[in-house]
Amino acid sequence: MRARESIQAWLQERQYATPYHWHQRPNDELEYQLRTAVVLEMAGLDRRSSGRRERLLDVGCGDARFLADAARHTHAVGSDISLRALGHARRLAAGTHLVSSGGEALPFRDRTFDVVTLLDVIEHIPDEDESTVIAEAHRVLRPGGRLIVSSNTDRSVCEPKHFRHYPIPRFVQLFDDFVDVRLVGIIPYVSTLRFWMAVPMLSRLLRSRIRTCEPDRAQTVVGTGTKR
């Protein structure tokens, strides 16, 4: 493993010293709830109340916060390369099926899942593996299944643990082998102003910034495409 990849892996593993998705600050929580609502709507799970329970795979599930929410609507499976993250997941999302695996070689048969999600994951993948991860997601999706990807755009502040932030045209290329591609942008709070959240009036004003927007104005983008 090259030096940069080793550093990235260390930074990501260090982040899972705690199950941080389960203990978010107020504005992080609002952003998480908005993104989750967008993902469930894209997956068609927000309006499904009866019939066959679809199968969802969350690649890079981390501490399984999203997976636990998705499990209320579908048969949910999570994979992650971090054993520490999976330890949190097994404790906090006990009703889900979890496997230790990277996104480059998923241990599932072709056409297994109705929905595959890569939520804030693809930016952690080295450039040379990016297309392989998307191809694996495509492989395990059934025809008509949906891939959903979220990531930071190039309008957001760069983070050392990320290999890249996406210009919208490059993000759209992730869906080259899919049809019916749709994007939704999200504007979160300004992270550098987190300290000022303690000021009540300013907190209320900044909370209103957490909203959906056009992708070219977004700091986070969520995209979906359908397998032919």
pLDDT of the residue at 201: 52
61 within 8 A of 87, measured Cβ to Cβ: no
Please check the confidence at residue 149 and state whether its pLDDT lies above 80.
yes
Closest Cα partner for 25 from 227, 191, 215, 224?
A: 191
Cβ neighbours for 61, distance < 8 A, ≥ 6 positions apart: 67, 78, 79, 80, 85, 89, 98
Q: Which range marks the domain in which residue 111 is found?
A: 3-227
Total domains in the chain come to 1
pLDDT of the residue at 193: 44
In this prediction the pTM is 0.89
pLDDT of the residue at 3: 62
Look over the chain and give the mean of its residue pLDDT values, rounded to a whole number: 88
**Distance, first Cα to last Cα, the chain:** 35
44-69 residue pLDDT tens:
987 655 567 899 999 999 999 999 99
pLDDT of the residue at 210: 86
* 200-207 helix and 26-43 helix, angle to the nearest 10 degrees: 20
Reported confidence tier of residue 196, pLDDT bands at 50, 70, 90: very low
pLDDT of the residue at 10: 73
24-33 residue pLDDT tens:
888 789 899 9
85-111 residue pLDDT tens:
999 999 999 889 999 999 999 999 999
Reported confidence tier of residue 136, pLDDT bands at 50, 70, 90: very high
What's the CATH code of the domain at 56?
3.40.50.150
Q: What mean pLDDT is predicted for residues 162-176?
A: 97
